[in-house]
Chain A
Amino acid sequence: MSVAYRFGDIKSVRDALARVGYLCDDAIATVLYLAERLQKPILVEGPAGTGKTELAKSLALALASRLIRLQCYEGLDESKVLYEWNYRKQLLRIQVERNEEEAHVESHRDEWHRIEGDIFSEEFLLERPVLEAIRAEDAVVLLIDEVDRVEIETEALLLEVLSEYQVSIAELGTVRARQIPPVVLTSNGSRELSEALKRRCLYLYLDYPSAEREREIVISKVPEISERLADEVVRVIGLLRSLDLQKSPSISETLDWARTLVVLGIEHLDQETTSSTLNILLKYREDIDRAQRELLGFGDRARA
């Protein structure tokens, strides 16, 4: 196992990510740095749209690695996470053996052992994302997305990989990792993850960014925007997030909004422009009504 770390210090993590367009704060950079030094997976939690998946993608870009992504969903099982035997190919193989057998006669016992050893070999193994990641020759980053969607039993499948970096295959034995890839797990918190999983991971809570950071993000992703407008956008977003909305605007919605404003040629946010473009930011009727009322003072609730 190579001990050459790709990140020299915390600052270099931040710079590397900034070069691929992901602006992170020092806390995030520290966690990524530690993940590499301690060789531990990172569990990222936080509200939707705060850049959890994006973090893994950017990490892969920054490390010039291939991203292997396992999208989790209910009912995901071993054969989709770790490995599966290619039984169609196995069947074909048996079929071929049978045909050959008719040609030259061999003792049945030997025949069986030979075929058995044959069909449970690497040739017939279908690698699924997790196995693929630890067996990869090239540099990879493994992203296990929305891990809270799988059942708790499936979650347990990941434990061996995440702590020992190995996969046990009943017919082949234990497959050890050629390299220890960076692993990022994301969760939307739709259920409490098991203690065992949490213990094995470094924990990172990605909240909505601070106003300064969000402003930088807006300016870097929407370069046409004026500094003044970016500032106003971020201030309004901050206020919206402080309301008790069903769905607070995410970073990507902030960016959509900023782009729309630029396209529409709006240079300054006031009552009218904000009100007429709120539907880009908020996705529920009730939220829009509420914002109109509490942010802009529309409706009948204006206090004297």
Chain B
Amino acid sequence: MLDVLSGFVDELRASGLPVSVTETIDAANALSVIPLDDVGALRAALGTTLVKSADHEVVFARVFDLFFARRNISWHVEGEILVETELPGTEEVFVPGKLSGDRRAIDPMSLRDMVREAIAKGDERLLAESAAHAVELYGAVGSARPVGVAYYLQKTLRGLDLESILSELLEALLAHSGNRDRVREGHLGGNLLRNELSRHADALREEIRREIVRLLVNERGAGAVAKSMRRPLVEDLDFMHANGDDLVAMRKAIYPLARILASRLAHRRRHRRRGPLDVRATIRRSLSSGGVPLEPRFKNPHPSRPEIFVLADVSGSVSAFARFTVHLVYAIAEQFSNVRCAVFIDGVDDVTGIFRRASSIEEAIAEVGAQADVVDAHGHSNYGNAFRLFAERYGQSLTKKTNLIILGDARGNYHSGEAEILQRLRRRSHRVFWLNPEPRSYWGTGDSIIGEYAPHCDGVFECRTLRQLKEFVNYLA
């Protein structure tokens, strides 16, 4: 099926979504029973058949916009093939606005008023319309320059100066509501207003982005634009090279992961072994089958409480990873009561209490940075020293139920590794895992001494992306 649908599916796959052949066939079948002129239904039908995880929704939305959110195009099914046709001279299929016919550029002042009204009301039609005008006025999309969506988006937003419109609007609305005291910052009314305005402003930015994509697709074709917009899935991003937006997305993805980890461990606790035969219950139950003990009953095993002790390197060389691990540890600690956490550089400090007290992750990170006493001598990571101090101070609290998880790159600045301490720690605990944020190919190069430690761990994992972290969680279960 060489057509729009297969191009669409190819792009989804190229963006990292696992779309199977069966699912593609389902999508084709779905398209044959829905009205194709209804973009909402088209989107829902493709989404439900092709995308099977909420995490992938973002990618789907982006690719869908590329292929289907275009004007002057209609689709129909010919045989088994989805065909697109251009509708010559017709108005936009679903986005309102009077742009196409007599293109009359709007002047900046009236655009400003329009945007202000759109944001105040949050009206979808108006938002879309003002976005289209804004792009036309400031974006100048369509020149042959090889620049991407982000460039035009920045350019349009800069021209529009959305921030000043927002603050103006907020001022005006607050003044309008009369009593300014009642809507001051931190007050319910003011908060509601601010929240709604910023939501509408986000919607406007999104509309502008979509408008730019639409224009670019008309200019260059969906495939070419798609290629320039391709981003790795959140789960494939490297922790060490993630930017601000990526980190926010990753943080969101971590919480479910911590919950899964917690429930997996709790699950093992309940189901690993059956307890001994419960003679009394078995005989009691056998009465209904005439004294034949058909169904043996077992006592519930004594619940053991699994414990996690996380030991995380927070030194400069892994700072990006460290921030991320602090997130993970915080999320685990929220789910699990039996988690202890220590951080180290060349000294080591227990930060469990800090996590318990902190009401948010930002607070926890700030507190760890400010309070944790992790520098013993130089402030460069020294794994040997950190392990020795750890064993001295916390070795006693490791038991046969403890899973010790070490997070770090094992780059010890050529200090002695003291792997035998790790060996001792392993003997005291249930299992020892090492998560290393470096690519496997770097292991053992330079001052990396992961090779010394590996024999004393139950598992050493490369952990650079959420996907790898997920694999580790699955491995644990």
> How many residues on the A side are at the interface (Cβ–Cβ under 8 A)?
53
Q: Is the CB of A34 within 8 A of B186?
A: no
Does residue B249 face the partner (Cβ distance < 8 Å to A)? Answer: no
- Interface digits, B22-65 against A, CB 8 Å rule (1 contact, 0 not)? 11001001100111001011011101110111100100000000
> Which candidate, A51-59, A100-108, A191-199, A248-256, is the interface stretch facing chain B?
A191-199
> Which candidate, A63-71, A174-182, A266-274, is the interface stretch facing chain B?
A266-274
Which residue of the partner chain, among A151, A202, A242, A289, contacts B195 with CB atoms under 8 Å?
A: A242
Q: Is the CB of B263 within 8 A of A34?
A: no
Residues of B close to A302: CB separation below 8 A: 185-186
Residues of A close to B33: CB separation below 8 A: 33-34, 37-38
Q: Which of A1-41 contact B (CB under 8 A)?
A: 9-10, 26-27, 30-31, 33-34, 37-38, 40
C-alpha gap A45/B263 in the complex (Å): 18
Known A-B contacts A38-B26, A88-B288; the reply to A303 vs B185 at CB < 8 A is yes
Q: Is the CB of A199 within 8 A of B288?
A: no
Does residue A62 face the partner (Cβ distance < 8 Å to B)? Answer: no
Does residue A156 face the partner (Cβ distance < 8 Å to B)? Answer: no
C-alpha gap A38/B23 in the complex (Å): 12
Q: Is the CB of B188 within 8 A of A271?
A: yes
- Interface digits, B7-22 against A, CB 8 Å rule (1 contact, 0 not)? 0000000000010101
The interface size bin for chain B is: 35 or more
Does residue B271 face the partner (Cβ distance < 8 Å to A)? Answer: yes
Q: Is the CB of B260 within 8 A of A244?
A: no
Which residue of the partner chain, among A30, A91, A274, A303, contacts B44 with CB atoms under 8 Å?
A: A30
Which residue of the partner chain, among A38, A75, A203, A295, contacts B29 with CB atoms under 8 Å?
A: A38
Residues of A close to B195: CB separation below 8 A: 238-239, 242
C-alpha gap A10/B191 in the complex (Å): 38
For the A-B complex, the count of residue pairs with Cβ-Cβ distances under 8 Å equals 119
Min CB distance A195 to B, Å, is: 7
Known A-B contacts A88-B289, A242-B195; the reply to A30 vs B48 at CB < 8 A is yes
Residues of A close to B41: CB separation below 8 A: 10, 26, 30
Residues of B close to A99: CB separation below 8 A: none
Most A CB contacts (10 A, CB to CB) among B40, B264, B470 go to: B40
Which residue of the partner chain, among B48, B188, B270, B288, contacts A31 with CB atoms under 8 Å?
A: B48
Residues of A close to B292: CB separation below 8 A: 91
Does residue A276 face the partner (Cβ distance < 8 Å to B)? Answer: no
Q: Is the CB of A296 within 8 A of B188?
A: yes
Residues of B close to A192: CB separation below 8 A: 260, 470
Does residue A87 face the partner (Cβ distance < 8 Å to B)? Answer: yes
Does residue B155 face the partner (Cβ distance < 8 Å to A)? Answer: no
C-alpha gap A182/B451 in the complex (Å): 55
Q: Is the CB of A270 within 8 A of B188?
A: yes
Q: Is the CB of A271 within 8 A of B48?
A: no
Known A-B contacts A34-B45, A88-B288; the reply to A190 vs B22 at CB < 8 A is no
Min CB distance A193 to B, Å, is: 8
Q: Is the CB of A74 within 8 A of B270?
A: yes
Which residue of the partner chain, among A43, A239, A271, A297, contacts B185 with CB atoms under 8 Å?
A: A297
Does residue B125 face the partner (Cβ distance < 8 Å to A)? Answer: no
Q: Is the CB of B359 within 8 A of A290?
A: yes
Q: Is the CB of A296 within 8 A of B187?
A: yes
Min CB distance A56 to B, Å, is: 16
Does residue B259 face the partner (Cβ distance < 8 Å to A)? Answer: yes
Q: Is the CB of B185 within 8 A of A91?
A: no
C-alpha gap A151/B271 in the complex (Å): 10
- Interface digits, B274-294 against A, CB 8 Å rule (1 contact, 0 not)? 000000000000001110101
Does residue B164 face the partner (Cβ distance < 8 Å to A)? Answer: no
Q: Which of B147-190 contact A (CB under 8 A)?
A: 184-188
Q: Is the CB of B187 within 8 A of A271?
A: yes
Q: Is the CB of A296 within 8 A of B186?
A: yes
Does residue B136 face the partner (Cβ distance < 8 Å to A)? Answer: no
Q: Is the CB of A38 within 8 A of B34?
A: no
C-alpha gap A37/B259 in the complex (Å): 36
Nearest CB in chain A to that of B270: its residue? A74
Residues of B close to A289: CB separation below 8 A: 359
Q: Is the CB of B52 within 8 A of A199?
A: yes
Nearest CB in chain B to that of A239: its residue? B195
C-alpha gap A151/B20 in the complex (Å): 24
Residues of B close to A203: CB separation below 8 A: 47-49, 51-53
Residues of B close to A195: CB separation below 8 A: 18
Does residue B192 face the partner (Cβ distance < 8 Å to A)? Answer: yes
- 18 extra interface residue pairs, beta carbon distance < 8 Å, beyond A27-B40, A38-B33, A294-B191: A9-B35, A10-B35, A30-B40, A33-B34, A34-B33, A37-B29, A38-B26, A46-B54, A91-B290, A199-B22, A236-B192, A239-B191, A242-B195, A246-B334, A271-B188, A274-B188, A302-B186, A303-B185
List chain A positions with a Cβ less than 8 A from chain B: 9-10, 26-27, 30-31, 33-34, 37-38, 40, 43, 45-46, 74-75, 87-88, 91, 95, 151, 189-192, 195, 198-199, 201-205, 235-236, 238-239, 242, 244, 246, 269-271, 274, 286, 289-290, 294-297, 302-303
Instruction: Identify 8 residue pairs between A and B in the complex whose beta-carbon atoms are under 8 Å apart, listed by A's number.
Output: A10-B41, A26-B41, A33-B34, A38-B26, A95-B290, A189-B54, A238-B195, A271-B187
